[in-house]
Amino acid sequence: DAGVIQSPRHEVTEMGQEVTLRCKPISGHNSLFWYRQTMMRGLELLIYFNNNVPIDDSGMPEDRFSAKMPNASFSTLKIQPSEPRDSAVYFCASSLFNLGQLAGRKDTQYFGPGTRLTVL
């Protein structure tokens, strides 16, 4: 398996521009997560989907951030307009998890390589 795939790996943009980050989860996984890593706040969950439906977006910092999962093999995280404080590494992760079932080995989360975003 190719693992979780993210693109681009690096993105440099100017303040005010729209940024779109992309993620392809591991085939067969039904949960997808977006995380952000900064020096100040560490790793924090932004949003997660189960079976393409957003379950918890309480970590999304503000309305400038939006995420979609149009199908089981693709998700986007969009920032519009971008600001310098959005500079961070954004990780996507996926797992096989079913709400309501007991936790088990299958809900291990696997992370992609991340997208390093720099907003000037």
Partner 1 sequence: GIQVEQSPPDLILQEGANSTLRCNFSDSVNNLQWFHQNPWGQLINLFYIPSGTKQNGRLSATTVATERYSLLYISSSQTTDSGVYFCAAVPRGNKLVFGAGTILRVKS
Determine if residue 30 is left, alpha or beta; phi over 0 gives left, psi from -120 to 50 gives alpha, anything else beta: alpha
Least separation in angstroms between residue 93's CB and partner 1 is 8
Least separation in angstroms between residue 62's CB and partner 1 is 19
Decide whether 3 or 80 has the Cβ nearer to partner 1. 3
Task: Select from 71, 74, 88 the least CA-distant residue to 19.
Answer: 88
Decide whether 85 or 106 has the Cβ nearer to partner 1. 106
**Do the beta carbons of residue 33 and residue 97 sit within 8 Å?**
no
Whole-angstrom Cα distance, residue 36 to residue 86? 9
| Residues at the contact surface with partner 1, assessed by CB under 8 A | 31, 33, 42-45, 48, 50, 55-56, 89, 91, 93, 95, 97, 99, 103, 105, 107-111, 113-114, 116
Decide whether 15 or 43 has the Cβ nearer to partner 1. 43
Taking residue 70's Cβ as centre, other Cβ atoms within 10 Å add up to 9
